[in-house]
Structure 1
Amino acid sequence: MASPTTPKRPYAPRLPPAERREQLLDTALEIINTDGVAAVSVDAVARLAGVTRPVVYGQFTDSDHILRELLDREGRRALAQLAAVIPADLTTADPVQTFTTVARGFFDAVLAEPARWRSILLPVDASPPPVRKHKERSEALVRARFADLTRHFLRGRPGAEDIDVDLLAHLLLNALEEAGRLLLRAPGQYPPERLTAMARFLAETLIHRYP
């Protein structure tokens, strides 16, 4: 009598290396959005992508490498989403309208690609230490750029020379990020219109303090 045979696992279609890499990163993003960043592992990515562990190791050294590459990719794509709403010429731009427009563009971007922004807006402490450091460096660059914009709009305004611009930019950026998290968690309660109105209020309050 012939012994029963175990059905063979279907092989994933062979893909060029670049396409395979993108597929694995997409899989990691899916895991983050369903189970959280701590659930990303080589085993989990291989299982969900329908490939073997060696296929994943052919692209990444470990789960931290996967997460760093994913954050890099999603960060670049996120910046591309926002680039269209930032005025090319800031010398004549109205600061209140610019901040309001950037805020609304950010909220629209979050709604358009929620999976992307969940990976970016996750609290830093939820990430493994190597990924945490990578994310902190990336966020420091964004804060520096935000500080440059804030400094540009306050330049020449009476009394503005005493403002701690770096701290102000940090707090404003944190406010936008927290608003993005609220939008992701409860879009019905915190729609873009409500969040944008608050962003405009913050900008108007600051600029009216330093007319």
Structure 2
Amino acid sequence: MARARTEPPPRRRYAKRLLPADRREQLLDTALRIVAAAGFTEVTIAAVAEHGGVTRPVVYDSFGNRDELLAALIERETSRMRAAVTRALLDDHDSGDGPREVLITALRRFLSDVRTMPGTWRLVYFPIDGVPPLLRDHIRKARNEFRLPLRLRLGEWLASQPPAAGGDAVDLDVLVEIVQGGLQTLARRVLDDPEQFGVERVLAAIELLLGEIA
């Protein structure tokens, strides 16, 4: 009787070799996707290894433990937020454009960054299960950092406007609060429904409101 042929066992698949820095970024990207889908409580070394298609030792080579991984993720994402604020509100200060154009350009850059980095900005604008205290502190600081350059841009724009009828000046502090709160709402809409709330559509409404205030 002929012996049945036995298939060799499938070869184990190994993760593609990456430079340590590239592997670290890949694992942080994986952790961010887990956060977006299920919250911080679901981020574990095992989950990152499974979703990233690597073994646990590969993850441990980059991060000593879960806390180290989360701290690195929070630091990376808040650094991206700060960079986005700098690009939007502080770059090209001497571009030669008028205050209104500078302000609109700044808001366009900010909302565009929100749209292109949804995972990062969802950490700020949406409730997520198991948010670590460290992230809350970073977000609070990021919002304060955002307020200062926003106040600068709005102040430049107000200074360029003719005096209001009756001599009643627009209160800059109140305007900053209104605009920042409005941007928070708009950012959520851009993240939630980017097709319906495109950046240019949102900016058209902002320009109309600025015209009404002026």
Amino acid at match of 1:50: G
Summarize deviations over 1:111-137 as a string: whole Å, max 9, x none: 344344334533488622121112211
Q: Could you tell me which of 137, 141, 148 is aligned with 1:133?
A: 137
Residue 131 to residue 112, structure 1, CA distance change in 2 (3 Å): closer
1:46 equivalent to 2:49? Answer yes
TM-score by length of 1: 0.73
Gaps of 5+ in 1: 1-5
Residue 160 to residue 18, structure 1, CA distance change in 2 (3 Å): farther
Query: CA contact under 8 A between 2:74 and 2:135: conserved in structure 1?
Result: yes
Whole-angstrom distance in 2 between the partners of 1:77 and 1:49? 27
Task: Give the aligned partner of residue 126 of structure 2.
Answer: 122
Q: CA offset at residue 40 of structure 1?
A: 2.9
Query: CA contact under 8 A between 1:42 and 1:53: conserved in structure 2?
Result: yes
Please list, as runs of the form range in 1=range in 2, the aligned pairs for 1:1-211 lying within 5 A after superposition. Answer: 10-60=13-63, 61=65, 62=67, 63-75=69-81, 78-79=84-85, 82=88, 87-89=92-94, 93-123=97-127, 127-155=131-159, 158=163, 163-165=171-173, 167-206=174-213, 208=214
Q: CA offset at residue 139 of structure 1?
A: 2.0
Question: Does 9-18 or 116-125 show the bigger shift?
Answer: 116-125
Q: CA offset at residue 76 of structure 1?
A: 5.0
Larger Rg: 2
Q: CA offset at residue 49 of structure 1?
A: 1.4
How many residue pairs get matched?
Answer: 200
Q: CA offset at residue 141 of structure 1?
A: 1.1
Summarize deviations over 1:139-179 as a string: whole Å, max 9, x none: 211212212222333348656877252x4323312312321
Q: Percent identity?
A: 34
Q: Stretches of 4+ moved more than 6 A in 1? A: none
Query: CA contact under 8 A between 2:190 and 2:198: conserved in structure 1?
Result: yes
Gaps of 5+ in 2: 1-8
TM-score by length of 2: 0.72
